[in-house]
Structure 1
Amino acid sequence: MGKRIMFLGLSFLLFLSVQNKALAEKKEERSWKDETIYFIMIDRFHNGDKSNDFEADISDPAAYHGGDFKGITEKLDYLKGLGATAIWLTPIVKNEPKGYHGYWTEDFYDTEEHFGSKEELKQLVKKAHDRDIKVILDLVVNHTGYQHRWLDDPIKKDWFHPQMEISNWDDQQNVENGWLAGLPDLNTENNETRNYLLDVAEYWINETDIDGYRLDTVKHVPKDFWNQFSARVKKAKPDFYLIGEVWHNDPRYIAAYNKAGIQSFVDYPLFNEMVRIFRQSGQSLSELYSVWERNKYYYEDPYTLGNFIDNHDNIRFVREALLKQEDPEKRLKLALTYLYTAPGIPIVYQGTEHMMDGAKDPDNRRMMNFSNNKDMETFTAQLGKLRQNHPTLRRGDYSMVVDKDGIAVFKRTYEDETLYIVFNNDKRKSTITFSDKELQNKKLVDLLSDAEVTANEGSVAIEAKGESAYIFSKQNADSYTFLYGIMAGILALVGILFFFMKRRKENS
């Protein structure tokens, strides 16, 4: 009978736990700030269909290498296991010869034959959605490829700005009207051109059911175009996500495009600081917090900004660390920990999870190597899982508790959870101490290793190895005391009920 009573008590506790979790999940409606984005250069990711490999040459960094829609589809379970909840693909439209990257558009309404057909793209989107993975397509409306057929069409002469290189990057008109790297600049002030591009944007949404656009070269297109663009795509799909590339170091300049309808941006100021701080030991992390304070002030929702340490336009993070003669694995783990625990949406460029190396373009666009470093893949997946399991890492407030000589502690709180993210960015082992009144009778448990640190009168001392990071969860000093108390109460109640039922049966 004692076992039955114990079973009933445990069952009741489990029921309460499931009910509380269901209520919490219902309360927290998922939004884009909860996603983790994996960035894929289609041609350089995975070859799933050899039949479209014509003119491919893996030995030529400027040629097609064979990646395609089928290849990505085959790797969706890999991406899911890595913790990705959204994928961003480089442009899928038909490109000029050697346009493996997708940014030299030849036809806005067709897919690049090296990548596959529209039907294969639709299948990719559908199968991603089946796994609760959203799909973002890169879209270029600023320019066409170098030899676009419209250039020879006298009827479309006004579809382009007059040929002129950008010579003054401080002159906004020159930035918007000039030909970037010699690419023919589309005249979006022309209503015909503008309507064509708006139609293209709506077409791919309706045709494939994608979830968002990463907007290329945003600052080279007038803001009034982006206002119309945003209204058009949101009408086609109300929760459609727009993340813009405004390559600039001033958040005030970038945030001005918030008012033009673009809700999110890849955060270049944060990227610059993360690379500078984490590629070399001994650097203070204070500027990372300064970036966050500025972002809170300038952006409508800084939690939707895209954070990254690698992309296809910049030297790989691993190469940055190697150039500083540092251990790239230790440096990358520190950078990834910040990427996944700071406010904003983590964007992981393909290969970062395998410590892929690469210098300037096109060396930073090597074919994906899925076996390069399995330990780093496991670590990245662990961070991805933690971010999904702890809303605090996605939605929590953010403050800096400690900042001294490469030592930093950040605090994040959301609802009833508090996390402390601890960094020792120095090569030397260090004892990191800090106090917080919330730590009275509490302990800290590292979510990466299960190591525990007990608080003493609201103060903790953490023995941190050199070049290490920790994600500590605040918990009761004896996390089971409360649970045992509830169980004891339930068992006592069940026992009393059983006693009275037995006496009633004996007296009847």
Structure 2
Amino acid sequence: MKKLLIILIALTAFISCKSEPQKEQVKKGEIAALKPISDEVLESAVIYEANIRQYSPEGTFNKFTEDIPVLKELGVKIIWLMPINPISEIKRKATGDLFTSEIEDVELRKKYLGSYYSVSDYKAINPEFGTKEDFDNLVKEAHKNGIYVIVDWVPNHTGWDHPWITAHPDFYTQNEKGEIIDPINPDTGESWGWTDTADLNYDNKEMRKEMISDLKYWVENYNIDGYRMDVAHKVPVDFFETAVDELKKIKPIFMLAEAEQPDLLHKAFDMHYGWEAHHIFNEIANGKKDVSAFDEYVTRNDSILEKDDINMNFITNHDENSWNGTLLERMPNKKEVFTALIYLMKGMPLIYSGQEYDLSHRLKFFEKDEIPKEKGAYFDLLKKLGALKNNNTALNGGKNAASYIRIQTSDDKSILAFSREKNGQKVTFIANLSNKNLEFTLDKIGESVEFFTNEKVNFSKEKMNTLKAWDYKIYIY
């Protein structure tokens, strides 16, 4: 009888366990899968643009993967990988308007690797960087560190040896002679100069289907978290809306548009480039504009953008560094104040490969180069700003951004002062965006703590404040 009772109790317990939902067990040593990207993540995110070719002497996925924990130190939550696909051999760019095929010296020809944006196969990996297995390990390592990965995609054009060129010439824009052409500037009717690429024809529905199929491939097979779309303003908005609908059937994704075009944000994209702000920063740094230009920009954005639209804020990226100049060239001895501003204003701040190590040279675009790797004061600044962005809701800059309130000063053309506030947390930014040391009053009262020094400061409307040229303060409550 006693044995029968024990058997019944055991059987009852077994049935009970079977009837309850089983919790997923994580084995010892394993890390639970990263939750899909969400609006909550975007609020406090820092995005990092990874130039794999130039990131290390090896220029490989594996060497970059080793440094993912370093990016975590900087508060990075999203890695944007520049194009990972193989580069076309036909019409491969060397320098200026020269193709590698026009270089007679074989050894000299080898050093020119072409543009990342001349893709020969959307479903393959650039052998410069490694293998698909290496790429898969990169994504997994990022996810283990709580970081999402998006891939740079080139939807407007392909390289000249892409399989579609011969298999589907109707996928491309053609001239009156039936010849495939490179992308044309509609305003001038002339080439953009992207002669190493062939322009895709978005009137062709079959091409659109193939493009979407290739986009799905990397989400389904390598668990990437979205895309940065190159020259998104040159591709029909309705294509992106259809493509994103299809991708979101697989998993939640994050979409960044290389554009400043609000209608792209209605259904397709989460974030676009803050190009106008970037140009304003350069002009203020060079004395061509003052703070009023930034104030007008903020006001205009409030009227143009919807509440859940996100700006990507930056002071450099791959195009700016290689073609328009380094931070040392464009804003000498001023980069710190503009760096702080892109973290404090609404939106998401960008770090470009090498920026964290105070990169001071223009990275070569068509050949091998590399970034410095010595941590210094600027790395520490990005680390502190990243922690503030990640942890203080007053700097939320996503689809439910913290408020932005301009604080009036006695010199609003030179002094930029504003507060951000959300969920009881508040941050104030005050900067002197001029070449002169200034004294000024501030329409602000009460006690604050300076973020970097932890010094307590009492503000009043009558108090005279001082800031050196291009200096700034961050106050927290």
What TM-score comes out, normalization by structure 2 length?
A: 0.78
Taking a change above 3 Å as real, the CA distance of residues 290 and 455 of structure 1, as seen in their structure-2 partners, is same
Partner of 1:449: 453
1:138 and 2:141 are equivalent in the alignment: no
Q: Does 1:265 align with 2:272?
A: yes
Q: Is 1:183 matched with 2:197?
A: yes
Tell which deviates more after alignment, 287-296 or 419-428.
287-296
Match of 2:370 in 1: 367
Q: Among 425, 429, 432, which residue is 1:421 paired with? A: 429
Change in Cα spacing, 1:297 to 1:181, as seen in structure 2 (3 Å) is farther
Percentage of matched positions with identical amino acids: 24
Deviations 1:43-97 (A, max 9, x none): 11125xxxxxxxxxxxxxxxxxx31111111001111112211110011122224
2:439 maps to 1:431: yes
Match of 1:339 among 331, 339, 342: 342
Instruction: Tell me how far apart the structure 1 counterparts of residues 315 and 306 of structure 2 sit (CA, whole Å).
Output: 23
Cα displacement (A) at 1:467: 1.6
* 2:173 maps to 1:161: yes
Q: What does residue 45 of structure 1 align with? A: 55
Match of 1:392 among 386, 391, 394: 394
Greater RCO between the two (CA within 8 Å, min separation 6)?
Answer: 2
Which residue of structure 1 lines up, in the alignment, with residue 22 of structure 2?
none
Taking the aligned partners of 1:242 and 1:39, their CA distance within structure 2 comes to: 14
Q: Counterpart of 1:236 in 2: which secondary structure?
A: coil
After TM superposition, give the deviation of residue 149 of structure 1 in Å.
Answer: 3.7
1:60 is matched with which residue?
A: none
Which residue of 1 is the match for residue 384 of structure 2?
Answer: 382
Contact 2:86-2:127 at 8 Å conserved across structures: yes
- Residue of structure 2 equivalent to 1:232: 246
**Residue in 2 that maps onto 1:300:** 306
Q: CA deviation at 1:420?
A: 1.3
Unmatched tracts of structure 1, length 5 or more? 1-27, 48-65, 475-508
- 2:277–2:294: 8 Å Cα contact kept in structure 1? yes
Q: 1:303 to 1:473 in 2, by over 3 A?
A: farther
Whether contact under 8 Å (1:138, 1:213) holds in the other structure is: yes
- Provide the rounded CA distance (Å) in 2 between the counterparts of 1:80 and 1:107: 31
Q: 2:114 touches 2:366 (CA, 8 Å); kept in 1?
A: no
Amino acid at match of 1:383: L
1:224-263 CA distances to partner (integer Å, 9 max, x unpaired)?
A: 21121111111111x21111112xxxx5xx1122235223
Please say which of residues 179-188 and 418-427 is displaced more in the overlay.
179-188
**How many Å separate the matches in 2 of 1:389 and 1:166?**
44
CA distance 1:182–1:118, shift in 2 (3 Å): closer
Question: Do the aligned partners of 1:242 and 1:264 also contact (CA within 8 Å) in 2?
Answer: yes
The Cα shift of 1:421 comes to 0.2
**Could you tell me how far 1:179 is from its partner in structure 2?**
8.5
**Count of residues in Structure 1 that have an aligned counterpart in Structure 2:** 407
- Report the CA distance shift for 1:398/1:142 in structure 2 as closer, same or farther (over 3 A): same
After superposition, the C-alpha distances for 1:124-156 in whole angstroms (9 at most, x for unaligned) are 111111111111110112111133343234xx1
Shift of 1:426: 2.4
> Shift of the alpha carbon at 1:178?
8.5
Question: Cα–Cα, structure 1 residues 101 and 40, in superposed 2: closer, same or farther, change >3 Å?
Answer: farther
User: 2:324 & 2:204 partners in 1: Cα distance?
Assistant: 44
Shift of 1:296: 2.4
More helix by share: 1
Alpha-carbon separation, structure 1, partners of 2:440 and 2:311 = 30
C-alpha distance 358-469 of structure 1, shift in aligned 2 (>3 A) = same
User: Alpha carbons of 1:33 and 1:342: their partners in 2 closer, same or farther (altered >3 Å)?
Assistant: same
Please list the CA deviations of residues 183-227 of structure 1 after superposition, one character each: whole Å capped at 9, or x if unmatched: 111223222211111011111001111112001121222222112
How far the C-alpha of 1:358 sits from its partner, in A, is 3.6
Q: Go from structure 1 to structure 2 and tell me whether the alpha carbon gap of 1:314 and 1:29 turns closer, same or farther (over 3 Å shift).
A: closer
Amino acid at match of 1:409: A
Q: Deviations over 1:274-296 (max 9, x none)?
A: 2222x336952222232222222
Which amino acid in structure 1 is aligned with residue 40 of structure 2? R
Aligned partners of 1:303 and 1:345 also within 8 Å: no
